[in-house]
Each structure stands twice: as structure tokens, then as C-alpha cells.
Amino acid sequence: CSVCKCNFISFFLGTGSSILSALQDLFWLSKSKVEKQLQIISVLQWVLTFLIMGVACTLILMYILCTDCWAIAALYLAWLVFDWNTPKKGGRRSQWVRNWAIWRYFRDYFPIRLVKTHNLLTTRNYIFGYHPHGIMGLGAFCNFSTEATGVGQKFPGIRPYLATLAGNFRMPILRDYLMSGGICPVNRDSIDYILSKNGSGNAIIIVVGGAAESLNCTPGKNSVTLKNRKGFVKLALRHGADLVPVYSFGENEVYKQVIFEEGSWGRWVQKTFQKHIGFAPCIFHGRGLFSSNTWGLLPYSKPITTVVGEPITIPKIDNPSQREVDFYHSIYVDSLIKLFDKYKSKFGLPETEVLEVN
């Protein structure tokens, strides 16, 4: 019916209060129950987007090409060829999409919180190192690809770009959806463009540990893959972009994962995928759709608090030596550990907890 359609649209695009009011009138549910269901739906749509949207849209496009509606798919493919390099040139962000009401329900499900510790100058560019990866980087997405936690208000004049696998931008429809949130490919061409040809006030968020780090994420464990990850430091030096350590407390708590030991067949399969495809398949589970006591794809509703640390001033060196890269990398590692130690007790960890740097 038209009423149901209007309520569905307002869930994505409307204000939080209008959604709650509409659904309460429609289903006679209490405010808290409606709110919880909206939170679950908002997280579920993101999980499905993360896992299957790219493949699903590709298959649908191929199917349409074989039907009487082939002209629609052909027009989109023509547009895709014309628009192919847009992700490498800063993308096509949409403040309208970043401000959708659905992201506020997404935030409140966990909840997710963004903590600012220092101001950022709009006359500088930045590379944020985000740790840890977790299974899906939920905190990174919510904080930097939406306005749900107020990144635009906390860091006025700063444009955040969350960097993710370049392969995602070869998938029809998914690429456009990602770009609308300010997400860009994590490759040199894209980063070089944003840091050198897009003015100042840009902040590229790189999940430094990547797929390798995701293989070790499990509740109760605070470890990062960083010792041999120095490419982001070299990029910062080449562009004179300040480095900013970011630690997300609780990122590893929202899913439970089967951890394969080094040398096992399972770890071999994961590393083979990581080497040749760019991502590592993980065996994980969260809670069920209708009950937190069953297994499913929904993450557990555990708090995620992302703390943005103090920027490290980086000089511009066109061709940095390995010694210079190592020097600023060591400063970055020390800053990350200090950030973790300063805030760990405030977000539920004991004072004895140590950040493991691998």
C-alpha cells in the first residue's frame, strides 16, 4: 500500500522522529521496540551490502542484458566505461546519502561513538591509520563514511575519504553506492590524486592492517598488524601529509571468528586468497536476526568507540629514504601505543592490557 511505501522510504531518507512516529502509528508498537527493529534492519542492510551487493548487482546486470530490457543495462555499461576513473579522482560523495537517517540507527545499534582529541588544520592534508580492522571495519564506515557520529561537526573543513579494496569499484552499482559515502580505492593513484590535486583539508582513512589483520581479530584481543606496514608512511612523506593514529575500542568484539593456527590448512587457504584476490575469507558469526542467543550474520551489539589521536607533523620529501620512512614509522607506532594506553581504561579495558603490535 502507499502508506507502507512511504514509511519504507522515510526509514532511509527521513528524520529519526518521523520514522518512529510513522511506524508506531502503523504497527501500534512501543517506541523502544520500533527503534530496536529499525536498528537491526539498518545494520542488516549494511552487512548484506558488504557481503553480496557487488556480486548480486553484477549477476542482475548480466541477466538484464539477456532480457527485453537489455537497453537499460547497455546504457549503464556505457556510463560505467565513461565514469571508470572517477573513483581514482576523489569519487563522487553525496552529503545527502551521508546524512541518511538509516545511519543514525546503524550507529545506535552498537552504539558507535567518535572521540576527538585534537583539532585538525584545514590547511593540511592527513592520512589516518585506522586500527584494528575487525571483520568488516564497522567503526571506520560509520564514523568516516556517514555523518552519524558527527565527523563533519567535530572536524569542520576536513573531508574524510575511507579507503577500501580497489576491486569493489569494479562492481556495478556497488561502486556508486560506495563513492556516495566518500569511499575511495586504497591504491596509489587514488591517494596521490586526493593528496596532491584536491586542495587541502583532506583526510584519507587507511585500515593499515588490512586483510592480514582481520584473520586475527577476535573478542578480547587487542592486536594490530603494523611492524612491516610502512607504505602509508612513505605516501605521507611524499605528500607532506600529517599522520594521525586512530584506535577503535570494541571493533574486535562484534563478531566471533574461528582462528586458524599458522601452518594449518585453513590459514594457508586464507593467505592464498589474500595474496591473489586481496581479501581473506574468514569463518565468523554474530547473532541471529530474531534472537541474540542464536548464530547469524548480525554483529553483536557491543560498543565501538573510535578515538582520533594527535596528528604527527610530516615533512614533504619527494623521494624519502628507507631510513626516513623507518624513523617516522617508529614515531607513528609509539603514538598509537600511547593513544591506546591513555584511553584503554576509559573504555572498559584493564590497566594491564597491552596493545600487541605484529
pLDDT, tens digit, 9 for 90 and up, residues 324-350 = 999 999 999 999 999 999 999 999 899
The three-point CA angle 224-229-230 to 5° equals 135
What does the block give as the cell for 150? 558527527
Confidence category of residue 3, pLDDT binned at 50, 70, 90: very low
Give percent of the chain with pLDDT exceeding 70: 91
d(CA 178, CA 99): 14
Q: What is the pLDDT of residue 19?
A: 56
Q: Are strands 304-308 and 242-249 parallel, antiparallel or unpaired?
A: antiparallel
pLDDT greater than 80 at residue 23: no
DSSP string, 232-251: HHHHHHHHTPEEEEEEEETG
Phi-psi region of 30 (alpha: psi -120 to 50; beta: other; left: phi over 0): beta
Contacts of 322 (CB under 8 A, 6+ apart): none
What are the pLDDT digits (tens) for 164-210? 999 899 999 999 999 999 999 999 999 999 999 889 999 999 999 98
d(CA 322, CA 107): 41
Q: What is the pLDDT of residue 71?
A: 95
pLDDT greater than 50 at residue 2: no
DSSP string, 310-325: PPBP----SS--HHHH
Spell 227-239 as b/e; 16+ CB within 10 A means b: eebbebbbbbbbb
Q: What is the pLDDT of residue 265?
A: 79
Range 78-84 average pLDDT:
95
Exposed / middle / buried, residue 153 (Cβ in 10 Å: 0-12, 13-18, 19+): exposed
d(CA 329, CA 321): 12
d(CA 146, CA 102): 10
67 vs 22, more confident: 67
d(CA 87, CA 81): 12
The number of beta carbons lying within 10 Å of the beta carbon of residue 322 is 9
pLDDT greater than 90 at residue 216: no
Phi and psi at residue 312, to the nearest 5°:
-105, 120
The secondary structure element, H or E, covering residue 129 is: strand 126-131
129 vs 5, more confident: 129
Q: What is the pLDDT of residue 116?
A: 98
Angle in degrees, 0-180, between the axes of helices 101-109 and 31-48, rounded to the nearest 10:
100
d(CA 103, CA 123): 29
pLDDT greater than 80 at residue 16: no
pLDDT greater than 50 at residue 253: yes
Going through 145-189 in order, the beta strands assigned E by DSSP cover 159-164, 183-185
pLDDT greater than 90 at residue 254: yes
Q: What is the pLDDT of residue 17?
A: 57
What are the pLDDT digits (tens) for 230-243? 999 999 999 999 99
Which of 27-31, 159-163, 207-211, 231-235 is the least confident region? Answer: 27-31
Confidence category of residue 24, pLDDT binned at 50, 70, 90: low
Confidence category of residue 5, pLDDT binned at 50, 70, 90: very low
The number of beta carbons lying within 10 Å of the beta carbon of residue 66 is 9
Q: What is the pLDDT of residue 224?
A: 96
pTM across the whole model: 0.88
What are the pLDDT digits (tens) for 88-108? 999 999 999 999 999 999 999
Asked if residues 90 and 198 have their Cβ atoms less than 8 Å apart, the reply is yes
Which of 137-141, 194-198, 225-229, 278-282 is the least confident region? Answer: 278-282
